[in-house]
Amino acid sequence: MREQAGAYGDPVLSAFDLDFFDGERRLRTRLGDGWSVRFEHVRPVRGFRWAKGGRGFAGWYWSATTGDHVGYESWLERDRLILLDFDPQVVGIASQPFWLHWRDGDARRHAPDYFVRLADGRARVVDVRAADQVNERTAEAFAGTAEACAAVGWEFEHLGVPDPMFMANVRWLARYRHARCVRDEVVGRLERVFRRPTPLRAGAEEVGDVLSVLPTLFHLLWAGVLRVDLHTCLLSSGTMVHTADGSVAVLESGVGTRGVLADRGRGMDGGRNEMSKLSRPASIGVGERVRFAGQVRAVLAVSARAVTLADEEGPAREVLLGELLGDPDFKVFASPVRMPLPPLSLLEAMPRHAVEKALWWEGHILEVLHGTRPEVAEDARPRPEYDPARHSLTARERAKAAELTTAGHQVSVSTVGNFRRRYQAEGVLGLADRRPVRKKPQFGSVGDAVVAAMRQAIKEGEDDSTRTGTYIIWRTGEILRERGASVELPSKATLYRLLAKLSQGTHALGTARARRSRAHGAKAPFGQWTVFAPGEVVQIDSTPLDVLVRLDDGVVGKIELTGMIDVATRTVTAAVLRPTTKAVDASVLLARTVTPELMRPGWVDALRMSHSVLPHRRLLRLDERLEHAAAQPVIVPEMIVCDHGKAFVSHSFRASCRFLEIDFQPTHKASPFQKGHVEKMLDSVGTLFAQFVSGFTGRSTDHRGRNLEERRLWSLLELQELLDEWLIASWQNREHNGLRDPLHPGRSFTSNEKYAALVEACGYVPVALSATDYIELLPATWRAVNDYGIKIKRRTYDGPGLIRRQHSGVTAKKGLWEVHHDPYDISRIWVRNHHGNGEWLEATWKHLRHTPVPFGELAWDHAARELPEGTEAEIADAGAALLTRAHAGPEDAENGGAKPKKRTRREKRVAARAKTAQPVPTPPPAPEPELDAEETAGEDKPLAEVIPLGLFDPLADPWKSS
């Protein structure tokens, strides 16, 4: 292989250096020595950036080719990454694989976007940049990269914006790239049905229920087992699908309009050369007269493709634009002058006397132009001096000037001519006296330098504390002195008026929060994030909930709400309450969103999924977990959008997204508007739910009541139960303004109604997590296994299956062992067996003595029921009763009348987390090791107080509460 590289010429190979990661090590070597590295497996050489106000959105796409996350720096790169994943010839992809260094006068370096390995062993280096974004320096970098690639036999490709139609179709199919979308019993039936070209929807219905068939069908299209034309039109119910060895018949009509028009254009007589000979006039407008087919006709309507012409012998005739322009007799005749429509809205802004004067002038000008005034009868003859057939326009203007002068108005002939020309150009608005509404300088006589200085002073305070106008005026003078501008400041009154104008809408003198939100909000023009499928985009965030709860031993404190919302249906897929949010809470939300919300004891039957608009019976055939489910859809996220909170950008949460095959998309920093749906949802929870709960504090100290700690307050688990019930009863059945049918914008939908409509086009793919899957979602750390076990934060864990004092085999981690742990339950940990098949070895806390009984799953023995309908009244009554119950607070007996015990903030967090620990299903626990004599002898001594901790239950469902 080295001889093969040398054949390309040593000067080129030694002129370039490669800088890349080899495992955890950073290496730099000559191109001739490093060209054989498997770059499709290396990690990126540079990190991604999400600077405030940035243009590109960096993130990670889960690739079916690599089975892992692959990074991208913009959505154009993401589109190209999806196409690489779609290409069957691609077997390996790595983003930002290396720095390529060389000298071109100055030292240069460039990191290509992707390194691609093809099935036949060839390598391809890919740079992605839109053609209009390639400047001279970028072109030089691409040229240098292409030269280096050619020297070692790699291919180099610069990719730009893909075809929008093709990209939209592949992006839709990419949602079904996961192996979980395939149902084996459906694959064979689909291949038999589509051996002959068949419409997509009709073929799916022939195979079975579309809820189960469509995901498999789309996955086969992604894999290339089935074929479809992705270039001509968007996928639809009528799109023709066939097997890979089949053929598609040519359609005369139906879908594919774009292709039909293209064929028609190629078949026209003369083709493109004849069309290029035609000369189109400057414009063809309504009211013009044209000669076509030997007759002069009036133009009644004009569109992009055709012109409607009047016909004296029959009804109006629509003529294609090409046919009209190609007629040898075609000609546009001079059209009469048309008066513009009067801009009545501008006239309304003028004083009444100015409008009356303009209308008075309009009557006289019309008489000059047409011979009669507008108020006379239609058959009235013009006065002799204004008859257009007898006198010229100049003579008529002279007659009008004489008439008005005789009537006492000092009007000259030139004045009449000026008003006539203004009327023809602007209509009645041209006759009005505009002096009362004349535009004045925006800032009066204040100089531009003073205005610019005050703008800067206001901008400097965007992220500072709020100051008064006196400071901004003082800072304006300082800025002028710093710039060396010899400008005399106007009076204080003028400066305050200027400040009022410049600070309007900026909250410069208002609250700091409103000022920052306004300054760093979205800038126009606004983009649009269009989603068409449940789970396509799911946003996650957390916020303090303005409610006091009673924690352990009567301690009162505030909590945080962490929630996820599906953008397509506005469904709150999961929401948890915690004293503070950690990465494990975000991971738990991922697991909870793919798990059905089961009915709880005490909930009314109207909240069952079987009583809702959701297709419960059909979904139940695909997912037996829905038998006792509440009326909330189960949605599997395709992309998670989050901010840069520690809980969300942590390695643990990203690992959870990678494990569940979810794309990960952080927003730009300090840009909450980029995840506005979850921000609005969290705010709505405060106004629609939290303010009805006993212990509501208001959004700030100014809105907080007195003695809230002495009221009847809910515990954290009880409030979580109320929140879950409210989401099912109220939120899911509430019409959302953003959920509307484009064809019927007056009709809004509830979250459940929108999901029921979309699932018919997308299908349903259940994701059932096992006990091992839950452990995978827990935070990971790396530890050594000693004779005494494993130590984490001064706690020792031990188990009979641990492999002690041995190298794990993971060289990148220096032989340490991967350990997963739950911060809410410190009773046990799990160690991955790197010497085996990756199974989990359980180790328990060595000095744990007392534990509470673990919470088990709810038992249900109700028989299957027919499909009844829950009425809107029942659901509304359930929501109203819940808010009434939340406002009343728990019973006095539950509080016991005890005075709250004061604790430190740390004690509150520890107690709350201990009490609210949710049990996680785990593999069967190993037997506890026998204690030695020394440990047994110490059992008679008094023990320190132990905080009760929740245990993992191997059979429990972690998302149910008692």
Signed CA dihedral, 675, 679, 682, 684: sign only: negative
State the pLDDT at residue 782. Answer: 92
The band of 42, judged by pLDDT with boundaries at 50, 70 and 90, is very high
**Cα–Cα distance, 555 to 549 (Å, whole number):** 8
Cα angle, residue 635 at apex, residues 681 and 776 outer, rounded to 5°:
105
- Phi and psi, residue 116, nearest 5°: -120, 135
| Superfamily per CATH, domain 538-762 | Ribonuclease H-like superfamily/Ribonuclease H (3.30.420.10)
Of residues 922 and 539, more confidence is placed in: 539
- The number of residues in the chain equals 962
**Cα–Cα distance, 744 to 767 (Å, whole number):** 34
Residues 6+ apart with CB under 8 A from 333: 288, 289, 290, 291, 296
Of residues 359 and 379, more confidence is placed in: 359
User: pLDDT tens-digit profile of 79-138?
Assistant: 999 999 999 999 999 999 999 999 877 889 999 999 999 999 999 999 999 999 999 999
State the pLDDT at residue 279. Answer: 43
Neighbouring C-alpha atoms within 13 Å toward the C-beta of 344: 1
**Cα–Cα distance, 8 to 80 (Å, whole number):** 30
What are the residue ranges spanned by the domains of the chain? 2-162, 167-251, 344-437, 448-519, 538-762
State the pLDDT at residue 526. Answer: 54
Amino acid at the residue 763 = G
The average pLDDT across 533-552 equals 91
Amino acid at the residue 786 = N
User: pLDDT tens-digit profile of 766-807?
Assistant: 888 877 888 888 888 899 999 999 998 778 899 988 999 999
Of residues 257 and 157, more confidence is placed in: 157
Of 47, 46, 54, which is closest to residue 669 (Cα–Cα)? 54
User: pLDDT tens-digit profile of 818-847?
Assistant: 999 877 677 889 999 999 999 999 998 876
State the pLDDT at residue 335. Answer: 52
User: pLDDT tens-digit profile of 294-316?
Assistant: 777 777 777 767 888 876 666 67
Whether pLDDT at 911 is above 60: no
User: pLDDT tens-digit profile of 556-610?
Assistant: 888 899 999 999 999 999 998 888 777 667 777 888 888 899 998 889 999 999 9
The average pLDDT across 55-71 equals 94
What SS3 state is found at 508?
coil
**Are domains 2-162 and 538-762 of this chain identical in fold?**
no
User: pLDDT tens-digit profile of 438-447?
Assistant: 777 888 888 8
**415 and 404 Cβ atoms separated by less than 8 Å:** no
What does the block give as tokens for 20? 């890349």
**86 and 170 Cβ atoms separated by less than 8 Å:** yes
Whether pLDDT at 375 is above 50: yes
- Interior/surface letters 396-419, b for 16+ CB within 10 angstroms, e for the rest: bbbbbbebbeeeeeebeeebbbeb
**775 and 920 Cβ atoms separated by less than 8 Å:** yes
**Cα–Cα distance, 61 to 229 (Å, whole number):** 25
User: pLDDT tens-digit profile of 687-724?
Assistant: 999 999 999 998 888 888 888 888 889 988 889 999 99
Whether pLDDT at 932 is above 70: no
Please name the fold of domain 2-162: Trna Endonuclease; Chain: A, domain 1 (3.40.1350)
Whether pLDDT at 541 is above 50: yes
Of residues 157 and 286, more confidence is placed in: 157
The band of 756, judged by pLDDT with boundaries at 50, 70 and 90, is very high
What SS3 state is found at 752?
helix
**Cα–Cα distance, 518 to 529 (Å, whole number):** 21
3-state secondary structure 724-748: HHHHHHCHHHCEEEEEEECCEEEEE
The band of 321, judged by pLDDT with boundaries at 50, 70 and 90, is confident
The average pLDDT across 886-904 equals 56
State the pLDDT at residue 584. Answer: 67
The DSSP code for 503 is: T
User: How high is the mean pLDDT of the chain?
Assistant: 81
**Cα–Cα distance, 28 to 875 (Å, whole number):** 66
**137 and 167 Cβ atoms separated by less than 8 Å:** no
Q: Which residue reads 């594919």 in tokens?
A: 256
Of 268, 253, 172, 189, which is closest to residue 225 (Cα–Cα)? 189
State the pLDDT at residue 264. Answer: 30
**93 and 112 Cβ atoms separated by less than 8 Å:** no
State the pLDDT at residue 891. Answer: 66
What does the block give as tokens for 586? 């975000």
Whether pLDDT at 336 is above 70: no
